[in-house]
Amino acid sequence: MAKQIDDEYYQLMRQIQAADFVLVELTLYLDTHPDDENALQQFKQYSDFSRKIKQEFEQKYGPLLQFGVSNNPGPRWDWGSGPWPWQV
């Protein structure tokens, strides 16, 4: 059974994508500037935000990943209940 998709679903998904984009860019920057304390602080800030927003998304809409760091917040395995993030 598919979960209800609403405006908040898309808002959270955009926040996740934006935060993860920033993390990729900061990772690339920190690879060449490992002593930049400001960039390191930003990385920590966005990493915490990304983790928080993903947890909120998963509590409301189900897991983002089939395996790894995603926790299945429901009382049953619901990975297949979609829609999956790449289907919207």
Q: What is the pLDDT along the chain (88 residues), one digit of tens a residue?
A: 456 788 999 999 999 999 999 999 999 999 999 889 999 999 999 999 999 999 999 888 888 876 655 554 455 545 556 666 677 6
* 36, part of any domain: yes
* 28, part of any domain: yes
* 53, part of any domain: yes
Q: Assess contact for 42 and 26: CB atoms under 8 A.
A: yes
* 14, part of any domain: yes
pTM: 0.71
- 74 Cβ partners below 8 Å, 6+ apart? 62
How many CA atoms lie within 13 Å of 13's alpha carbon, on the beta-carbon side?
A: 16
* 3, part of any domain: yes
* 77, part of any domain: no
* 56, part of any domain: yes
Count: domains in the chain: 1
Q: 51: domain range?
A: 1-61
